[in-house]
């Protein structure tokens, strides 16, 4: 399936999320810009305020999410925009009742950090047996281990690398660069045989570029048209189209400098194999019949004749002809 393989290496997920702020025309604009940014997936958060936040216990948060709602038909319109542009559509669906009408568009479902412990929600998405992407903000390592084991115990399909991905994330907006904690990706790689990546809440591209260099297979970042004069916090940690295109160019360079995993001399090095390496030479004139002592030898560039790695093997050998100081020594000269 190659679920987590992107056009430029890591899977690039532009998270529009709630940056449309409930304005459908603005959502369409952001989707168009995200399509033009050449990402692999464009992601939304699909919810209703009343099925997400308790209106009694947290009335202001409930009001906030209700303000940011889009309708079923509006989300389907955005998903169709992605489909027509041949760009993946992804969603964090915070109300499972909405899944039946968005399911055909979302190849991958995202479990956000806030739903990491919401077992009824997670159980529902497990039952779909579609690829799941998990963000691990707010979590302890024990909680991450427990939920990965739980998901894999409920359905063996999630032991496949194509069906479960894990993102290091710090759930604050914005976070300081030192709070990105990218080394956690290495911990996840050691613990789990599943793809690992990074969900970014820093400002700028640096953490994302570093994550790629460290082997991130998935990158998720918030997306906007412009950060200026925006009150909603997510815009501050969002990339623009120009910044995403710049990130892609940096990824190409990072992948070039990383190269391949098999160590061998490259064609560009070939002219130096002889000129940079050393061979064995005599540091004085030698005559036929002399036995070679350690003190007779010196290792010098270029590597003409007997390689310096043969140093211990030639000690005690006799030479069968006169060889001048610094003259090339051949194996045929030894007895």
The whole-number average pLDDT for the span 260-264 is 91
Indicate whether 26 belongs to any domain.
yes
Contact between 278 and 308 under an 8 Å Cβ cutoff? The reply is yes
Q: 45 with 94: CB under 8 angstroms? A: yes
pLDDT at 1 over 80: no
Does position 146 have pLDDT exceeding 90, yes or no? Answer: yes
> Measured between alpha carbons, how far is 222 from 19 in angstroms, rounded to an integer?
8
pLDDT at 278: 98
Please report the pLDDT score of residue 23 as a whole number: 95
Tokens of 86: 């041949």
For residue 229, the model assigns a pLDDT of 80
Domain-embedded: residue 34: yes
Q: Examine the fold and report which residue of 237, 258, 279 is the final residue of a domain before the chain moves on.
A: 258
Q: Are 326 and 187 members of one domain?
A: no
**Do 61 and 150 share a structural domain?**
yes
Tell me the whole-structure pTM to 2 decimals.
0.90
Residues 177 and 317 in one domain: no
Question: 1 lies in a domain?
Answer: no
Residues 100 and 118 both lie in one domain: yes
Res. 302 pLDDT band, cuts 50 70 90 = very high
pLDDT band at 233 (very low <50, low <70, confident <90, very high): confident
Can you tell me the distance from the alpha carbon of 129 to that of 174, in angstroms, rounded to the nearest whole number? 33
Which CATH number belongs to the domain containing residue 230 in this structure? 3.20.20.70
Inter-residue contact 224 to 238 (CB < 8 Å): yes
User: What pLDDT is stored for residue 231 in this prediction?
Assistant: 84
Q: Going by C-beta distance under 8 Å and a sequence separation of 6 or more, which residues neighbour residue 123? A: 154
pLDDT-derived band at 94, boundaries 50, 70, 90: very high
Q: What's the CA gap between 16 and 78, in Å, rounded? A: 11
Residues 253 and 273 in one domain: no
Residue 134 shares a structural domain with residue 219: yes
DSSP line for 8-33:
TEEEEEEEEETTTTT-HHHHHHHHHH
How would residue 306 be classed by pLDDT, with cut points 50, 70 and 90?
Answer: very high
Burial degree of 253 (CB within 10 A; 0-12, 13-18, 19+): exposed
CA atoms within 13 A on the CB side of 93: 25
Mean pLDDT of 281-309: 98
Regarding whether 276 and 222 lie in a shared domain, the answer is: no
Mean pLDDT over residues 252-281, rounded? 94
Q: Cα 275–280–283 angle (5° rounding)?
A: 115
pLDDT for the residue 228: 86
Residue 62 shares a structural domain with residue 94: yes
For the chain, the residue count is 335
Note whether 164 and 222 are same-domain residues: yes
Whole-number pLDDT of residue 200: 97
Q: Where are the beta strands (DSSP E) in 112-269?
A: 132-135, 164-169, 196-200, 218-223, 238-239
Domain residues for 327? 267-333
Bridge partners for 198 per DSSP = 168, 219
Same domain for 217 and 237, yes or no, is yes
Would you say residue 126 lies in a domain? Answer: yes
User: At which of 223, 258, 293 does a domain end?
Assistant: 258
pLDDT tens by residue, 74-86: 999 999 999 999 9
Residue 327 sits in a domain whose CATH number is 3.90.1210.10
Based on the fold, state whether residues 254 and 286 are members of the same structural domain.
no
* Residue where one domain finishes, among candidates 227, 258, 289: 258
Indicate the number of domains in the chain: 2
- The verdict on residue 2 lying in a domain is no
Do residues 241 and 107 share a domain? yes
Give the separation between CA 9 and CA 194, rounded to whole angstroms.
16
User: What does pLDDT average to over the chain?
Assistant: 96
pLDDT value, residue 41:
98
């Amino acid at each position: 399936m190659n679920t987590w393989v992107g056009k430029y290496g890591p899977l690039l997920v532009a998270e529009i999320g709630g940056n449309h702020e409930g304005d459908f025309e603005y959502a369409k604009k952001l989707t168009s810009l995200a399509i033009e940014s050449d990402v692999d997936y464009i992601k939304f958060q699909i919810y209703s305020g009343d099925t997400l936040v308790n209106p009694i216990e947290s009335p202001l948060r409930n009001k906030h999410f209700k303000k940011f709602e889009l309708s079923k038909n509006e989300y389907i319109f955005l998903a169709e925009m992605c489909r027509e542009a041949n760009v993946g559509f992804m969603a964090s669906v915070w109300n499972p009742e909405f899944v039946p009408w968005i399911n055909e568009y979302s190849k991958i479902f995202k479990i956000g950090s806030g739903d990491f412990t919401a077992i009824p929600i997670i159980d529902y998405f497990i039952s779909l047996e579609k690829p799941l992407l998990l963000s691990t903000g707010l979590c302890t390592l024990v909680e991450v281990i427990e939920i990965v084991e739980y998901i894999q115990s409920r359905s063996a399909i999630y032991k496949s690398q194509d069906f479960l991905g894990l993102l290091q994330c710090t759930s604050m907006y914005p976070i300081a660069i030192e709070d990105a904690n990218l080394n956690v990706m290495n911990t996840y790689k050691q613990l789990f045989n599943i793809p690992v990546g990074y969900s970014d809440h820093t400002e700028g591209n640096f953490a994302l570029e570093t994550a790629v260099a460290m082997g991130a297979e998935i990158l998720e970042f918030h997306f906007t048209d412009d950060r200026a004069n925006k009150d909603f916090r997510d815009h501050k940690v969002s990339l623009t189209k120009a910044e995403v295109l710049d990130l892609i160019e940096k990824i190409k360079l990072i992948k070039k400098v990383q190269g391949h995993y098999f160590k061998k001399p490259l064609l560009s090095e070939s002219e130096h194999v002889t000129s940079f390496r050393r061979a064995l030479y005599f540091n004085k004139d030698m005559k036929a019949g002399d036995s070679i002592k350690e003190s007779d030898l010196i290792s010098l560039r270029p590597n003409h004749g007997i390689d310096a790695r043969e140093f211990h093997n030639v000690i005690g050998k006799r030479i069968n002809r006169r060889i001048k100081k610094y003259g090339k020594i051949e194996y045929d000269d030894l007895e």
